[in-house]
Structure formats: C-alpha cells, structure tokens
Structure 1
Amino acid sequence: MAVTFYNLNSESGLQKLDDYLLSRSYITGYQASKDDITVYAALSTTPSSEYVNISRWYSHIEALLKLCGVSEGKGVKIESSACVVEDVPASPPVAEKKAPVDEDDDDDMDLFGEETEEEKKAAEERAAATKASGKKKESGKSSVLLDVKPWDDETDMKKLEEAVRGIQMEGLLWGASKLVPVGYGIKKLQIMMTIIDDLVSVDSLIEEYLTVEPANEYIQSCDIVAFNKI
C-alpha cells in the first residue's frame, strides 16, 4: 500500500500524522512495513512529546531499527514484523512533487486518504479511552517544610502548633514537626506538610490562614524552607 505524506516537518503536517496514528499502531495498520520507514525517514527531528501518537509510533520504529542493527549506509525492509538489512541509498526517499498549494488550503490537505468506517470507529473508541484515562489521572503532590515564627519568647509554642495543625482543608496533610532555637530564648516551629498541588496553594495557606486571626495571635510570620515535588 503506497503512502503519501505532506510536509511532515510542519505543524499542520505533524498534527495530521498524529490524528492518523490515533487509530493505528503503524502507518498501514497493525503491522510494521516499509511505509513506516518511509515516513520515519521523512521526519528531520524527533517529534515533540505533544504529538502523543507520533511519539509512540516513532519510538516503536526507532527500537525496531536498532533491533535490526541498521548502520550507516544500510537500510531496512520489514516483512511480517521481521526485518532484513539490505544495501540502500543513505538518503531517505523523497515524496513525489506535487503542484504548489496555497497555504490557506494546507489544513484541508488529505494526508493519508479517506478513512474507512472501521478506522473511524477505532479512532473514536481510542479518543474516548484517552479522555477517560486523563480524568482518572491523579494530581501531583508536593512535600513542603515551613518555618513558623512566634511573636516573642513568651509565645506559647504548644498553642502555636495547635493553631497550625488546626487548619484543615482538602488536599492538606500535616506531618512531623520540631522546635528550633532562633536566639534570645526564642524558638521557631518547623513543620512538614504534604499537599495536593491542584487543591492547595501554599502562598494562600500562609496569607489567608496562618497569618490572620485567630492563628496570628501566636504566629508572627511563615516562610517556605523547602518545596519538593513528590
């Protein structure tokens, strides 16, 4: 099956290839062929990870070529998922020249021909599955170490810690803590917390909860000592 392609080094061309591969494992379906090598050779650089389907396909072909032991001055033809290394010209095949096309019509270019009903159904099912899996993806988490400073050496540090831990919200979990000498008899509270990034803003936590009433009766200020993604 002959495969034609249009300017695979342009954003519109890459997007069309990405859409095309949504319902296919390889260029001509579910089995690697010489057409995969043709399109692979036409890409001047490794495709960006934003093109999810191309990146998947590109990794498969790249791994297959390495498995075949392809070296400089050698080419590869793929037959029934087995590869045979053979002497071929080093330069990639060039697509047949076509009449100039207005840039405005670029988005209307049919890249790989019309899809069958079966291919369209497979594309819709894969898109739905991708969307569903995206919803289930958990938000990132972070581990944060806070310095909580009292007003003076007469501040009750036990009540200060109770004021800190008394702040409860979805996505916030308080951890271990300790008192650290600052000087002149003053100690500060160092406390760990784990947050879900999409639910808790550390800046908002400090400005809207820890340094306002009633917590500010004990807390003078708060500083972020460490912030690490989990």
Structure 2
Amino acid sequence: MAVAFHNLNSDSGLKKLDEYLLARSYITGYQASKDDITVYSYLAKTPSAEYVNASRWYKHIDALLRISGVSGEGAGVIVEGSAPITEAVATPPAADSKASAAEEEDDDDVDLFGEETEEEKKAAEERAAAMKASGKKKESGKSSVLMDVKPWDDETDMKKLEEAVRSVHMEGLTYGASKLVPVGYGIKKLQIMLTIVDDLVSVDDLIENYLTVEPINEYVQSCDIVAFNKI
C-alpha cells in the first residue's frame, strides 16, 4: 500500500512528514527513489529547523538531485491537498525545456514525478545523453555511500567525532555533506556521505578504520551503511 501525505506545506502536513522520517532516511526503502522526488516536489522550500527530520531529509534529497541524481523506482507515494512545486526540483536544462513545453501544451503533464510515462523515460535517456555531451562525465567505478556513525553515549563530543571520522584519509575516498540526526534519549548520530573509487577503497576496510584506529574509536561505537549506490 502506497504511503500517503496530505498538504505538505501546512503545519499538520509537515508534522506528519517529520514524524514519519524520525526512523527513516528515505520515504520508502533504503535508497533514494522516485518516491522521495515526488514528496520533494510538493514542498515549496526547505522545512524549518522545527521539523528536524523533514529538514534533514529535504537537504539530502536536494543534494542528490544536484550532484548525482536519483534512480530508484520506489514503492509508491500519494500526496493530497496541494500541487507539486515543479520549480523547486533540480533538473538539467534540457529537462526544464521539455517541462516548459509540456506545460504549454497540456496542464496534465505538469507533474514530472508521478507515474512514469513513455515521454518521461525518453526525457531521462536524453538527460543522460546531455550529461555525457556536456563534458561533465561521471567517472566510472565510483560509488556513493551514506553512512551512519553512532557515538558511545550522549556525552560524546559530536564535533570531535566528525573531525575524527574525516581524519581518515585513503586514496579514492572523498567526504561529502553530513548532518546530526536525533536517535533518542538525547543521543544523536552522525550521517555522512562518502564517495569511493571501487577499485581503491573497500567499504569493509573503511568501516574497520573508523572502529579501530585511535583516537576515532574513542568517539565511535558503530558504523552502518545506510545506502550504497553505483555512480
């Protein structure tokens, strides 16, 4: 059964979304998908800091759309009571042009992130071709990793924990955005994005570094891979 939300730009809608994302990184499943883009497209702006989980999720999806895109199909999501904010969605220029043309021809095509049509599949293929032609090619053999890093307790200095995590330098490893996510009882975990070159960095070796190397193990209790995607 599809997940349903109502009027995401209202206080009640944002509260429901925030509660829903308390124990989830994505709308459905364990990787970013079309369901995340659908919900994202209905939000006029980043949720305020009051909605910490929704705000964290929104910024993460926004970063993925601007950097590497989202390819997961998802399980289905329904948003009622408002129209999608298509201007907020980060897409390449070629896709924007097609969207504008579609709006002029038929208002029914405004929602770019509903059920996938043949036109949308064709547009996705054209976006990929445009990216290759632009000279900004994605290097093959890389993976995007979203990792949860949990401290020992609520007294752990999370700033020093992040500094310790980022102090691990390996050939083929690049650190990205990070955020602190509440997990309960005053404890927060660090959620951080990494990019690795598959032939140079093993995820198992990476996690072992975070758990065994001093002084990192002074702060880090455990590391978990939340999402792993080839790019």
Q: Same fold (TM over 0.5)?
A: no
TM superposition score normalised by structure 1: 0.39
TM superposition score normalised by structure 2: 0.39
